[in-house]
Amino acid sequence: MAEEDDSSLLVLLVETHARLWSMLSPEQSAGSSQPPALSGTGYLTQVLAFVNTFLMLNEANRVAIFATDTADSHLLYQSPSLQNPTGRKRPGLVPASAAAETLGHLVTLLEQEPSSTEPQPGPVLSAALSRALCFIHKAQHGAAAPSKDRPRPRILCLHGSPDEPSQYIAIMNAIFAAQKHEVVIDACMVADVDSAFLQQAAHLTHGVYLHPTKRAALLQHLLSVFMCDTFSRSFLRLPKATGVDFRASCFCHKRLIDLGFVCSVCLSIFCQASSECTTCGTSFVMARSPASKRKAVSPPS
Amino acid sequence: MALDPGADEERDTPLLVKRCMCMLPDKRKVPGVLTLSRLHIQWLPNNPATAQPLKLATSSIAGALQRAKGKPMVRIPTVPDAAIFELECEADRDAVVELLQPVVAQVQAKGKQVAGAAPRLHQGPDAARKQALLTEHKDLGAVYQQLVLSGLLTEAEFWASRMHLLRAGPPGGTRQQRSGISSAMLAAGQPTADGRVDRVTFQLTPDIMRQIFMEKPHVQRAYQDNVPHKLTEKEFFQRYFKHQLVKQMEQRRQAAGGAPAHSAEDEDELFSQRQGDAEQLQREASARIKRVDPTVNVAADTYDALGEGFGLPGKESGASTQQAAPNSLFQDLNRHGAVVLDGAGDVLLANQATATEVAEAIERARQARQASARNGSGGASSSQQAWQRRAGSALEDLRSAATGDWAELNIKDPRRYFDTASASAGGTPAAAQTPAAGGPGGGDRQSVLAGLRQAEAQGRPDPIIPPRAAAEVLQELSQAEARQDELAAAAETSLLAPMQASLRQTAMTCNELLRHFWSCFPANTAARQDKATRLQKALTDQYRTTETMVGQAIGTDRTMISGLMRPVQQALDAAFDKYDGEQAQWRASKRHAAMPATQPISQRPTLPA
Measured CA to CA, the distance from residue B247 to residue B249 in angstroms comes to: 6
Pick A39's closest partner by Cβ from B443, B521, B598: B443
Per-residue CA distances from A215 to A23, A115, B465, B555 (Å): 12, 27, 11, 37
Measured CA to CA, the distance from residue B476 to residue B474 in angstroms comes to: 5
Contacts of A277 in chain B (CB under 8 A): 412
CB–CB contact A291 B451 (8 Å): no
CB–CB contact A279 B470 (8 Å): no
Task: List where CATH 2.30.29.30 sits in chain B.
Answer: 7-117
Nearest CA in chain B to A100: B456
Q: Residue B594 is which amino acid?
A: A
Task: List where CATH 1.20.58 sits in chain B.
Answer: 494-592
- The candidate with the shortest Cα–Cα distance to A9, out of A70, A76, A82, is A82
Least confident of A57-71, A224-238, A268-282, B352-366: B352-366
Q: Which of A32-36, A100-104, B252-256, B369-373 has the highest mean predicted lDDT (pLDDT)?
A: A100-104
Pick A216's closest partner by Cβ from B455, B465, B480: B465
Q: pLDDT tens digits, residue range B491-530?
A: 777 777 788 888 888 888 898 889 888 888 777 788 888 8
Give the per-residue pLDDT at A204: 92
**A287 pLDDT higher than 80:** no
CB–CB contact A213 B433 (8 Å): no
| Pick among B403, B408, B448 to test the A interface (most A CBs inside 10 A) | B448
Give the per-residue pLDDT at B329: 73
B387-396 as b/e, with b when 16 or more CB fall inside 10 Å?
Answer: beeeeeeeee
CB–CB contact B460 A45 (8 Å): yes
Give the per-residue pLDDT at A233: 87
**A10 pLDDT higher than 90:** yes
Give the per-residue pLDDT at B115: 41
Cβ within 8 Å of residue B462, ≥6 positions away? none
Q: pLDDT tens digits, residue range B92-112?
A: 888 888 888 877 777 666 655
Give the per-residue pLDDT at B119: 42
Kindly report the three-state secondary structure assignment for every residue of B480-496: HHHHHHHHHHHHHHHCC
Query: Does A177 reach chain B within 8 Å, measured CB to CB?
Result: no
Measured CA to CA, the distance from residue A217 to residue A188 in angstroms comes to: 13
The number of helix segments (H) and strand segments (E) in chain B equals 20, 9
Give yes or no for a contact between B304 and B331, defined as CB atoms under 8 angstroms apart. yes
Window A:43-72, CB contacts with B under 8 Å? 44-46, 48-49
A219-239 as b/e, with b when 16 or more CB fall inside 10 Å?
Answer: bbbbbbbbebbbeebeeeebb
CB–CB contact B456 A251 (8 Å): no
Nearest CA in chain B to A299: B599
Give the per-residue pLDDT at A248: 86
Measured CA to CA, the distance from residue A301 to residue B394 in angstroms comes to: 68
CB–CB contact B526 A252 (8 Å): no
- The candidate with the shortest Cα–Cα distance to B126, out of B118, B134, B116, is B134
Contacts of A23 in chain B (CB under 8 A): 434-435, 442
Neighbours of A284 (CB within 10 A): 14
Low-confidence ranges of chain B (pLDDT < 50): 1-7, 113-120, 171-175, 188, 264, 298-301, 307-322, 347, 378, 393-396, 425-442, 597-609
Query: Does A239 reach chain B within 8 Å, measured CB to CB?
Result: yes
Window A:62-121, CB contacts with B under 8 Å? 99-100, 103-104, 106-107, 110-111, 113, 115, 117, 119-121
Give the per-residue pLDDT at B295: 53
Class of domain A8-246: alpha beta
Instruction: State the average pLDDT for chain A.
Output: 81
- Per DSSP, the three-state class of B16 is strand
Pick A291's closest partner by Cβ from B416, B522, B527: B527
- Per DSSP, the three-state class of B117 is helix
B576-604 as b/e, with b when 16 or more CB fall inside 10 Å?
Answer: bebbeebbeeeeeeeeeeeeeeeeeeeee
**What average pLDDT does range A253-280 have in this prediction?**
86
Query: Does B484 reach chain A within 8 Å, measured CB to CB?
Result: yes
CB–CB contact A44 B452 (8 Å): yes
ipTM given for this complex:
0.75
Contacts of A44 in chain B (CB under 8 A): 448, 452
Measured CA to CA, the distance from residue A213 to residue B384 in angstroms comes to: 62
Give the per-residue pLDDT at A205: 93
- The candidate with the shortest Cα–Cα distance to B83, out of B130, B134, B29, is B29
A239 or A158: which carries more pLDDT confidence? A158
- The candidate with the shortest Cα–Cα distance to B525, out of A260, A293, A265, A299, is A293
Give yes or no for a contact between B165 and B133, defined as CB atoms under 8 angstroms apart. yes
Give yes or no for a contact between A35 and A219, defined as CB atoms under 8 angstroms apart. no
Q: Where are chain A's structural domains?
A: 8-246, 247-301
Measured CA to CA, the distance from residue A261 to residue A273 in angstroms comes to: 6
Window B:413-432, CB contacts with A under 8 Å? 413, 416-417, 420-421, 424-425, 428-431
Separation in Å, CA of A251 to nearest CA in chain B:
7
What dotted CATH number matches B494-592? 1.20.58
**What average pLDDT does range A100-104 have in this prediction?**
85
Pick B430's closest partner by Cβ from A164, A214, A224: A164
Query: Does A252 reach chain B within 8 Å, measured CB to CB?
Result: yes
CB–CB contact A26 B430 (8 Å): no
Q: Which CATH architecture has domain B7-117?
A: Roll (2.30)
Pick B470's closest partner by Cβ from A99, A220, A289: A220
Give the confidence band of A209 by pLDDT, cuts at 50, 70, 90: very high
| Pick among B458, B465, B487 to test the A interface (most A CBs inside 10 A) | B465
B120 or A98: which carries more pLDDT confidence? A98
End-to-end CA distance of chain B: give it in Å, rounded.
17
Give the per-residue pLDDT at B500: 83
Give yes or no for a contact between A12 and A185, defined as CB atoms under 8 angstroms apart. no
A282 or B114: which carries more pLDDT confidence? A282
Query: Does B601 reach chain A within 8 Å, measured CB to CB?
Result: no
Contacts of A19 in chain B (CB under 8 A): 434-435, 437
CB–CB contact A121 B439 (8 Å): no
Query: Does B232 reach chain A within 8 Å, measured CB to CB?
Result: no
Query: Does B595 reach chain A within 8 Å, measured CB to CB?
Result: no
CB–CB contact B425 A166 (8 Å): yes
CB–CB contact A300 B598 (8 Å): yes
CB–CB contact B445 A162 (8 Å): no
**What average pLDDT does range A225-236 have in this prediction?**
87
| Pick among A16, A22, A34 to test the B interface (most B CBs inside 10 A) | A22
Pick A107's closest partner by Cβ from B425, B447, B456: B456
A/B interface, count of CB pairs below 8 Å: 196
Give the per-residue pLDDT at B592: 77
Separation in Å, CA of A202 to nearest CA in chain B:
18
Nearest CA in chain A to B456: A103
DSSP B505-530: HHHHHHHHHHHHHHTT-S--SHHHHH
Query: What pairs with residue A67 in β-bridges?
Result: A14, A74
- The candidate with the shortest Cα–Cα distance to A250, out of A232, A242, A262, is A262
- The candidate with the shortest Cα–Cα distance to A22, out of B433, B445, B429, B451, is B445
Measured CA to CA, the distance from residue B269 to residue B21 in angstroms comes to: 106
Nearest CA in chain B to A116: B437
Measured CA to CA, the distance from residue B441 to residue B327 in angstroms comes to: 100
